[in-house]
């Protein structure tokens, strides 16, 4: 009953995340252009409509002058966004350093960077100091915009220090924290020099959420083993105060994708893509000129395989491409009948590891195209760019086999988006095992190139009735586990947790 009430009254939700859903590009002294940011967190949260939402975060740009800041605040206000201004040094130490160079790889089991293995190194300490300072700056902006009764929902590994900062400012604030990445085993978390402080800060939240039960369990074990606290079925208890810990598997706004397929611009994209694969010329320049030029060389009834990822080491792009190479090597009859489109939007481009990854992927693609390409066709089309929503939906819809083979991932929304767009084609999803879309997909170990290669063959040859059955399983899951449901459940659970805590205190 309480859950229904909270949904009906459009309660105010302050979403606090490192990045705003838009990136700001300066066009003049007091003029800004706003572009939608690409990424899973943004994609899921933009689908959440039932709350009166304000979004607090960094706009991805350094704005040192007051005129620029005032103009940006005004431009963002129209989108219900509130900026946190971070200077270059903080961004370098907090975002590129502590978040992307330490927490992100560690949480995905890639370990700590070599030079930061010692807790005493200056770079580690200064990055952690910057991380805490940045989190304090987020807390100040939240405090400024907070209205009593608001739900404050902090997101992701960038803001693990935030729950503590918020509760120190206002003990009564309703604070939830959700992690979009995996939370690693306590043995991995143990290696982080600032492990104690981070765990304690997160525990200041009223509700702590993860994508899966396993991540929640890892977090509780870290608190019991590293902090020596008591884990209960509800969460973690510290001196009579309970922090509720639970799993809230994320989803997408599936209706948005399903509805998009009816839009004339998406239909046009799809028609032209299909014509292209039937070997006829078309005018698909809107999607991407380079991409279309490459597609033009493909011949009749080519099967389309698709990968859509941020260009990140966790997404397993080199391994995926190597598996495709193995498939072509072992199946010469498929060589001019299948094409892999890998769309990889670059992220964190100023981090050296990401620059290395881009070169590595380009090198592998070039080698394979040199090996299996002909004068008229290449097997892999790799694009380092983002596609707009309509082009992405059209691509999903015409795809025969999607390869979603991250080495590790919090959840992965691309698999959901693909399924939502496949109502008529009923293509096959090859997926890293341990994701929640298990039942209808072909599950693989992405490290096992031989297994992925043979799954590609299985998927391409799959009979229609099996494809249909598998798609049905996936489609039901994607349309019932939506981002709206995810957010509503989290907020409702947070409200319940607070009511229960108040009752416990009174007893």
Q: DSSP assignment of 329-349, as one string?
A: HH-GGGTTTEEEEEEEEE-ST
Strands ordered across the beta sheet of 401-404: 380-383, 338-346, 303-311, 401-404, 428-432, 442-444
Kindly state whether residue 253 participates in binding ligand ADQ, applying the rule CB under 6 A: no
The only residue of 19, 54, 180, 276 in contact with ligand ADQ, by rule CB under 6 A: 180
Token pair of 135, please? Answer: 């989190």
Please, which residue, 328 or 487, has the CB nearer to ligand ADQ? 487
Token pair of 416, please? Answer: 């959901």
Please, which residue, 308 or 498, has the CB nearer to ligand ADQ? 308
Minimum Å gap between C-beta 404 and ligand ADQ is 8
Token pair of 115, please? Answer: 């030079």
Distance, C-alpha 279 to centroid of its chain: 35
Token pair of 1, please? Answer: 């009953």
Q: Judged by CB under 6 A, how many residues of this single chain contact ligand ADQ?
A: 24
Minimum Å gap between C-beta 490 and ligand ADQ is 12
Token pair of 9, please? Answer: 């009254």
How far is the C-alpha of 211 from the C-alpha of 124, rounded, in Å?
Answer: 28
Q: Going residue by residue from 126 to 165, which x/- string records binding to ligand ADQ, judged by CB under 6 A? A: ----------------------------------------
Do 398 and 274 contact (CB within 8 A), yes or no?
Answer: yes
Token pair of 499, please? Answer: 């009511």
Residue 235 parent element (H or E) = strand 235-238
Strand 428-432 versus strand 442-444 pairing type: parallel
Kindly state whether residue 397 participates in binding ligand ADQ, applying the rule CB under 6 A: no
Minimum Å gap between C-beta 310 and ligand ADQ is 5
Minimum Å gap between C-beta 108 and ligand ADQ is 8
Please, which residue, 40 or 193, has the CB nearer to ligand ADQ? 40
Which span sits near ligand ADQ by CB under 6 A: 12-20, 318-326, 406-414, 459-467?
406-414
Minimum Å gap between C-beta 392 and ligand ADQ is 5
DSSP state of 351: S
Q: Going residue by residue from 424 to 463, which x/- string records binding to ligand ADQ, judged by CB under 6 A? A: ----------------------------------------
Minimum Å gap between C-beta 104 and ligand ADQ is 9
Q: How far is the CA of 59 from the CAs of 17, 23, 28, 265, in angstroms?
A: 11, 5, 16, 30
Please, which residue, 25 or 434, has the CB nearer to ligand ADQ? 434
Please, which residue, 22 or 328, has the CB nearer to ligand ADQ? 22
Count Cβ neighbours within 10 Å for each residue of 481-504 and write b for 16 or more, e otherwise. Answer: bbbbebbbbbbbbbbebbeeeeee
Token pair of 172, please? Answer: 């009564």
CA atoms within 13 A on the CB side of 231: 15
What count of residues does the chain have? 507
Do 61 and 23 contact (CB within 8 A), yes or no?
Answer: yes
The only residue of 417, 437, 442, 467 in contact with ligand ADQ, by rule CB under 6 A: 417
Please, which residue, 181 or 455, has the CB nearer to ligand ADQ? 181
Angle between helix axes 162-169 and 195-203 (nearest 10 degrees) is 50
Of 296-355, which residues contact ligand ADQ (CB under 6 A)? 308-310, 343, 345
Closest Cα partner for 26 from 67, 56, 66, 68? Answer: 68
Minimum Å gap between C-beta 284 and ligand ADQ is 16
Of 36-95, which residues contact ligand ADQ (CB under 6 A)? 38-41, 43-44
Kindly state whether residue 392 participates in binding ligand ADQ, applying the rule CB under 6 A: yes
Which span sits near ligand ADQ by CB under 6 A: 53-61, 256-264, 413-421, 443-451?
413-421
The only residue of 250, 321, 357, 431 in contact with ligand ADQ, by rule CB under 6 A: 250
Minimum Å gap between C-beta 387 and ligand ADQ is 4
- Residues in touch with ligand ADQ (CB under 6 A): 38-41, 43-44, 180-181, 250, 308-310, 343, 345, 386-387, 392, 409-414, 417
């Amino acid at each position: 009953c309480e859950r229904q009430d909270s949904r009906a009254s459009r309660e105010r939700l302050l979403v606090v995340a490192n990045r705003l859903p838009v990136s700001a590009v300066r066009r003049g002294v007091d003029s800004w252009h706003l572009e939608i940011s690409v990424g899973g967190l943004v994609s899921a949260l933009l689908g959440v409509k039932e709350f009166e939402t304000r979004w607090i975060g960094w706009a991805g740009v350094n704005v040192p002058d007051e005129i620029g800041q005032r103009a940006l605040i005004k431009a963002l206000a129209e989108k219900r966004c509130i900026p946190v201004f971070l200077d270059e040094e903080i961004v370098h130490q907090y975002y590129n350093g502590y978040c992307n160079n330490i927490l992100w790889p560690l949480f995905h089991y890639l370990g700590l960077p070599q030079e930061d293995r010692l807790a005493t190194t200056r770079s580690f300490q200064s990055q952690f100091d910057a991380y805490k300072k940045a989190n304090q700056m987020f807390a100040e902006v939240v405090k400024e915009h907070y209205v009593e009764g608001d739900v404050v929902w902090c997101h992701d590994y960038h803001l693990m220090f935030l729950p503590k900062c918020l509760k120190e400012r206002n003990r009564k604030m309703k604070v939830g924290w959700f992690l979009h990445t995996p939370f690693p085993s306590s043995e991995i978390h143990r290696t982080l020099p600032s492990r104690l402080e981070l765990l304690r800060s997160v525990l200041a939240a009223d509700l702590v959420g993860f994508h899966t039960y396993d991540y929640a369990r890892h977090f509780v074990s870290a608190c019991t083993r590293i902090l020596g606290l008591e884990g209960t079925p509800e969460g973690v208890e510290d001196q009579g105060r309970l922090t509720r810990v639970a799993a809230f598997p994320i989803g997408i706004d599936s209706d948005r994708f399903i509805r998009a397929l009816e839009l004339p611009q998406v239909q046009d994209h799809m028609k032209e893509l299909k014509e292209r694969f039937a070997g006829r010329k078309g005018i698909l320049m809107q999607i991407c000129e380079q991409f279309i030029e490459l597609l033009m060389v493909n011949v009749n009834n080519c099967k389309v395989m698709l990968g859509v990822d941020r260009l990140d080491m966790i997404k397993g792009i080199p391994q995926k491409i190597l598996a495709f190479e193995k498939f072509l090597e072992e199946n010469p009859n498929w060589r001019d009948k299948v094409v892999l489109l890998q769309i990889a939007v670059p992220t964190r481009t100023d981090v050296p590891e990401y620059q290395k990854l881009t070169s590595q992927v380009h090198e592998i693609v070039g080698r394979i195209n040199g090996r299996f390409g002909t004068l008229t066709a290449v097997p892999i089309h790799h694009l380092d760019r983002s596609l707009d929503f309509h082009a992405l939906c059209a691509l999903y819809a015409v795809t025969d086999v999607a390869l979603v083979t991250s080495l590790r991932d919090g959840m992965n929304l691309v698999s959901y988006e693909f399924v939502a767009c496949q109502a008529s084609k009923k293509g096959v999803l090859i997926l890293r095992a341990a994701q929640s879309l298990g039942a209808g997909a072909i599950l693989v170990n992405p490290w096992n190139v031989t297994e992925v290669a043979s799954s590609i063959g299985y998927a391409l040859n799959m009979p229609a009735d099996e494809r249909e059955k598998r798609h049905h399983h996936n489609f039901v899951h994607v349309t019932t586990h939506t981002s709206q449901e995810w957010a509503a459940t989290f907020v409702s659970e947070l409200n319940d947790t607070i009511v229960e805590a108040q009752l416990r205190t009174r007893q």
